[in-house]
Amino acid sequence: MKSLFASATFILVLLTSCTPKATTVAEAPKSATSTAEQIAQGKTIYETSCKRCHKLYEPTQFTSVEWVGIMNAMAPKAKLTEEQHQWVYDYVVSVKK
């Protein structure tokens, strides 16, 4: 019984570790740093695209982790490219409290 449990645990760990991980733009940025120009473009996109459908939230209202979920849900609705998605994310997390 102990051997069966150990085998099942090993197979579960093996399968879990071998499956590809889903990444988001915020988790795997293309570049390590964003330029001031990209952050400025992100702000412009945030202020124009997001405002079309709802009020703008203060970037400091959410943590960077919360913004990942928000951006992943909203970027497709706003029809943002992957690059624009990254710029908006970089903008909202760059604003300090």
- Tell me the per-residue pLDDT of 32-68, one tens digit each, with 9 for 90 and over: 567 999 999 999 999 999 999 999 999 999 999 999 9
What's the mean pLDDT in 6-23? 45
* 10 domain-assigned: no
79 vs 34 pLDDT, higher one: 79
Question: Which domain range does residue 41 map to?
Answer: 25-94
Q: How many CB atoms neighbour CB 21 within 10 A?
A: 7
How many domains, in total, are found in the chain?
1
* 2 domain-assigned: no
What six digits make up the tokens of 79? 């029809």
Nearest 5°: the CA angle 92, 95, 97 is: 125
Q: Write the burial class of residue 34 (CB in 10 Å: 0-12 exposed, 13-18 middle, 19+ buried).
A: buried
What's the CA gap between 38 and 1, in Å, rounded?
58
pTM more than 0.85: no
* 76 domain-assigned: yes
* 48 domain-assigned: yes
* 29 domain-assigned: yes
Task: Judge whether 85 and 75 are in contact, CB under 8 Å.
Answer: yes
